[in-house]
Amino acid sequence: MRLSAPVYHLKRKAKRLSREEGIPLHDALDRIATTEGFSAWSMLAARAAAITPANRLFPQFRPGDLVLVGARPGQGKTLMSLELAVEAMRSGHRAAFFSLEYTEKDVLDRLRAIGVEPAQFDELFAVDCSDAISADYVVKEMAAAPRGTVVVIDYLQLLDQRRENPDLSVQVRALKSFARDKGLVVVFIAQIDRSYDPAVKPCPDLADVRLPNPLDLKLFDKACFLNKSEVRFQAAS
């Protein structure tokens, strides 16, 4: 049974229902579950945990892959990337989240939003929100990372915002070479151009990635795009 929206969207809907109608959150969750065809929220949650876009996509990753996760704001690209990191950690690998967009607290709060307590993976998960993040910075910080580590970069279009940083294309090529040499998986969160129209196509694709500076998207091995409940995977190269 397919859900009408990702679980975290349904949770938000339940919280809003709880506030508006003055009912306990667990009752609101059960009511939302009923509209999705489940007798209780616990049944919906169990079903959602069994098959998710992240646990379908992660087994397709190979050491050295560059992966693009793209969506318009509010469509879950950060949460999807964190879910991929969680899949890696559940498989015994390490994960690191480099963000030029969020604080460490923001990142950990988003982990909790997908039902993961950060302490569960304390030894496997690292968050870095330095303003100095660039390809060179990531390479230096991940120099000792073991093979199979998943590195998330949030986000692609911010990597060359500082004048002293190399062009975006140079940085992505450097990270591609580094990922292949070290056997890492590097996931780039990416913005989608405002011209993307969901009325024309239900999910964006490579042609919709916002590129303020030139970048050959064939450098990526795989791509994942989101819009509302739609999730599309594709080979990028």
Q: In whole angstroms, what is the distance from residue 124 CA to residue 120 CA? A: 9
What integer pLDDT is reported at residue 2 of this predicted model?
67
What integer pLDDT is reported at residue 51 of this predicted model?
63
What integer pLDDT is reported at residue 1 of this predicted model?
54
Q: What pTM was estimated for this model as a whole?
A: 0.81
Tell me the DSSP string of 160-224: T-STTSPPHHHHHHHHHHHHHHHT-EEEEEEEB-TT--TTT-SS--GGGB--SS---GGG-SEEE
Asked, as a colleague might, if the bond just before 8 is cis with ω within 30 of 0, I would say no
Instruction: Return the structure tokens found at 172.
Output: 């992505």
Superfamily the domain 53-235 falls into: P-loop containing nucleotide triphosphate hydrolases (3.40.50.300)
Q: Where in the chain is the domain with CATH 3.40.50.300?
A: 53-235
Give me the amino acid identity at 31.
R
Beta bridge partners of 71: 191
Beta bridge partners of 109: none
Is the pLDDT score of 209 beyond 80?
Answer: yes
Tell me the DSSP string of 13-39: HHHHHHHHHT--HHHHHHHHHHHTT-S
Q: Which of 228, 180, 222 minimizes the C-alpha distance to 202?
A: 228
Instruction: Return the structure tokens found at 55.
Output: 């646990």
What integer pLDDT is reported at residue 227 of this predicted model?
92
What integer pLDDT is reported at residue 45 of this predicted model?
79
Instruction: Return the structure tokens found at 201.
Output: 């196509």
Longest dimension (CA), the chain: 56
Residue range 76-105, pLDDT digits in tens: 899 999 999 999 999 999 999 999 999 999
Q: What is the mean pLDDT of the chain?
A: 91
Instruction: Return the structure tokens found at 118.
Output: 């950060």
Q: In whole angstroms, what is the distance from residue 199 CA to residue 205 CA? A: 14
Count the alpha carbons within 13 Å of 50 in the hemisphere toward its beta carbon.
9
Residue range 54-78, pLDDT digits in tens: 888 898 999 999 999 999 998 989 9
Q: What percent of the chain has pLDDT over 70?
A: 97
Three-class DSSP category at 107: helix
Residue range 159-208, pLDDT digits in tens: 998 889 999 999 999 999 999 999 999 999 999 999 999 999 999 999 99
Confidence of residue 230 (pLDDT cuts 50, 70, 90): confident
